[in-house]
């Protein structure tokens, strides 16, 4: 008895209900035609993910080997042949993603300019090979947006500019499809729709954002964990504690007094303005007095004093120290202190008292201070102000963009080479919350500084579509035009030397 490799893998999947008879027929036809690695068709058709394919392929092999033990007799010989593994199956299924990650992680300005210089103005459209690999790339966030535009009516540059969140990912996707021969090009816009050569499960090949439906959410998991811990605490209620030593009782009494003082201090501080937290007024203020009061409070209510306290006490301590630090940083800076003084003098200060009004005041002061710092070139102070602002309001795209601007221009970040990565991360968060002209202009500036003129131009065009009067984008577009004109002149000089 010999286990045949002929088409048992397809039948194996059919028995498990993973493929249909139509899909099995396509597999058999390709196998008879001698196509390379026909098993990968089950991934191409959307029957299996790459990971599921590897698992089922391994299980199928194990089943065939274990079947040998049912033989009544015979000689066991294992002789690997080149034809037995003509190509590692994982290569065909993983190669597109490997190439994509290679481009994405090594997308230098020079490589970007070289590719867009050759093919940026050309119009890509799908080839037959596209359908062999689209499923393997479908989990990439911009995959379907890119796929939908491959009909020959948009140039490579148009496609990159249309992907609103991440140009680098879109460009890496196009470069991958170019290498894998998934697209062909036309010098002019001409719509072309190509039919897949085999059935594709459209519903199975879904965007990564749609995956995971029906799975337990993190909140559900925490809720289940909470129920288990609740049952455990019920069991522990009856356990008696050992008698405490006299010294320990004294320490507990002192800790209890400090906890009561913490509570009363927090109740007092909650309703105070920033000066009153430190026992000061605008007229009695001095930096030395502020500094002395600040260190006294932070030392007395240091977190290590409450490491054995309840969670409620630790939360109060954290809130108190957070407000004390926030007040100290604001009052120790000349610009933010002046803005705060102006606020206290305004009519709004008279009605101040509720938490909502207090929060509104703090947001206004931080925002105004941050913008002043940016205008004066005090980028480190601006970064601190906008960081506080984003901590208070984390989901406002404008604040995230201003923080990105401060981070990118802060000289300290430039030295440590963290400026561009941190700024890009903030820009991504901002664009997911809302599309602002200033955000695209800043993203274009970063890419421009990295030397990628084509990607920068795409970002500045997005900024100008939203706000045609964006000064930063307008200025940079002129610089790009001037640089390209200079490059053309340089080429002409070299030609006529």
360 neighbors 335 (Cβ within 8 angstroms)? no
pLDDT of 54 above 80? no
pLDDT of res. 219: 40
pLDDT beyond 60 at 272: yes
pLDDT of residue 34: 63
| CA 294 – CA 453 distance, rounded (Å) | 50
Q: Taking the alpha carbons of 374, 378, 382, 383 in that order, is the dihedral positive or negative? A: positive
Token pair 């630090």 is found at 325
Phi/psi region, residue 427 (left: phi>0; alpha: psi -120 to 50; beta: rest), is alpha
CB-count exposure of residue 11 (10 Å: 0-12, 13-18, 19+): middle
pLDDT at residue 321 in the model: 87
**Residue 260: φ, ψ to 5°:** -65, -40
Query: pLDDT tens across 433-471, in order?
Result: 888 999 999 999 998 988 888 888 999 999 999 999 999
Angle between helices 311-331 and 355-376 (to 10 degrees): 40
Q: Which pair of structure tokens corresponds to residue 441?
A: 């202009």
The answer to whether residues 207 and 144 touch, using CB atoms and an 8 Å cutoff, is yes
Helix H segments across 377-452? 379-392, 397-409, 411-416, 419-433, 437-449
Mean pLDDT for the chain overall: 76
Exposed, middle or buried by CB within 10 Å (0-12, 13-18, 19+), for 121? middle
Where along the chain do its domains lie?
8-89, 91-210, 254-332
Q: Which helix (H) or strand (E) holds 344?
A: helix 334-345
CA 437 – CA 427 distance, rounded (Å)? 12
Burial 247-271 (b: 16+ CB within 10 A, else e): eeeeeeeeeeebbeebeebeeebee
Count other Cβ atoms within 10 Å, centred on residue 182.
Answer: 24
The per-residue pLDDT for 442 is: 92
Judge whether residue 348 has pLDDT over 70.
no
Cα 86 to Cα 55: distance, rounded to the nearest angstrom: 19
Least confident of 158-162, 258-262, 408-412, 488-492: 488-492
Distance, in Å, from the CA atom of 21 to the CA atom of 59, rounded to the nearest integer, reads 21
Closest alpha carbon to 96 in 177, 201, 36, 170? 177
For 171-228, what is each residue's pLDDT tens digit? 888 998 998 888 999 888 888 877 777 777 664 444 444 443 444 444 444 444 444 4
Task: Provide DSSP, 117-172.
Answer: HHHTTSEEEE-TTHHHHHHHHTTSTTHHHHHHT-BSSS-HHHHHHH--S-HHHHHH
Q: What is the pLDDT of residue 125?
A: 92
What separation in angstroms does the CA of 12 have from each of 5, 8, 50, 312?
A: 11, 6, 17, 58
Apex 162 CA angle, 398 and 397, nearest 5: 10
Contacts of range 339-345, beta carbons closer than 8 Å, 24 or more positions apart: 339/365, 339/368, 339/369, 339/372, 340/274, 340/365, 341/282, 344/273, 344/282
Rounded to the nearest 5°, which phi and psi values hold at 80? -65, 140
CA distance 475 to 134: 40
Q: Output the six-digit token pair for 328.
A: 């100290």
**pTM for this predicted structure:** 0.44
The answer to whether the beta carbons of residues 191 and 151 sit under 8 Å apart is: yes
Question: Tokens at residue 31, please?
Answer: 């196998």
Residue 96 pLDDT > 60: yes
Quick: pLDDT tens for 147-162: 888 888 989 888 887 7
In this predicted structure, what is the pLDDT of residue 341? 78
Using pLDDT thresholds of 50, 70 and 90, give the confidence band for residue 327.
Answer: confident
Domain spanning 254-332: which CATH class is it, in words? mainly alpha
User: Hey, which bits of 175-266 come out as E strands?
Assistant: 183-186
Cβ count near 4 (within 10 Å): 7
């Amino acid at each position: 008895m010999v286990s045949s490799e002929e088409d048992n893998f397809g039948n194996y999947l059919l028995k498990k209900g993973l493929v249909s008879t139509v899909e099995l027929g396509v597999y058999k036809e390709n196998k008879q035609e001698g196509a390379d690695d026909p098993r990968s068709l089950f991934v191409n058709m959307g029957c299996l993910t790459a990971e599921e394919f590897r698992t089922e392929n391994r299980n199928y092999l194990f089943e065939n080997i274990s079947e040998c033990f049912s033989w009544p007799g015979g000689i066991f010989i294992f002789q690997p042949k080149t034809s037995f593994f003509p190509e590692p199956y994982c290569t065909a299924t993983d190669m597109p993603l490997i190439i994509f990650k290679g481009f994405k992680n090594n997308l230098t300005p020079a490589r970007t300019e070289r590719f867009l210089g050759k093919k940026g103005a050309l119009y890509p459209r799908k080839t037959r090979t596209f359908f062999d690999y689209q499923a393997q790339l479908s989990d990439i966030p911009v995959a379907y947006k890119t796929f939908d535009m491959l009909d020959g009516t948009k140039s490579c540059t148009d496609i990159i500019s249309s992907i609103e969140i991440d140009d680098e990912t879109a460009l890496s996707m196009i470069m991958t499809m170019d290498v894998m021969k998934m697209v062909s090009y036309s010098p002019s816009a001409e719509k072309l729709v190509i039919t897949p050569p085999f059935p594709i499960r459209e519903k199975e090949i879904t965007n990564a954002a749609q995956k995971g439906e029906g799975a337990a959410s993190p909140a559900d998991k925490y809720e289940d964990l909470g129920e288990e811990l609740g049952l455990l605490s019920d069991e522990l209620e009856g356990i008696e504690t050992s008698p405490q030593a006299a010294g320990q009782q004294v320490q507990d009494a002192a800790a209890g007094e400090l906890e009561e003082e913490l509570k009363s201090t927090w109740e007092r501080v909650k309703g105070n303005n920033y000066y009153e937290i430190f026992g000061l007024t605008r007229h009695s203020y001095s930096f030395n007095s502020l500094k002395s009061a600040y260190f006294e409070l932070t030392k007395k209510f240091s977190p290590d004093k409450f490491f054995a306290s309840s969670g409620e006490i630790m939360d109060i301590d954290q809130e108190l120290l957070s407000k004390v630090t926030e007040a100290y940083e604001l009052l120790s800076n000349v610009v933010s202190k002046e803005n705060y003084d102006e606020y206290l003098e305004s009519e709004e200060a008279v009605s101040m008292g509720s938490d909502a009004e207090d929060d509104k005041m703090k947001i206004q002061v931080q925002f105004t201070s941050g913008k002043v710092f940016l205008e004066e070139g005090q980028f480190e102070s601006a970064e601190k102000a906008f960081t506080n602002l984003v901590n208070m309001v984390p989901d406002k795209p404008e604040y995230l963009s201003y923080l990105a601007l401060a981070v990118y221009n802060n000289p300290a970040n430039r030295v440590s080479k963290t400026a561009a990565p941190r700024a890009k991360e903030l820009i991504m968060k901002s664009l997911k919350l809302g599309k602002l002209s200033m955000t695209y202009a800043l993203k274009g500036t970063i890419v421009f500084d990295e030397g990628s003129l084509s990607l920068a131009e795409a970002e500045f065009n997005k900024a100008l579509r939203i706000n045609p009067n964006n000064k930063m984008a307008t200025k940079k577009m002129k610089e790009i035009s001037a640089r390209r004109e200079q490059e053309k002149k340089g080429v002409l000089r070299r030609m006529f030397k």
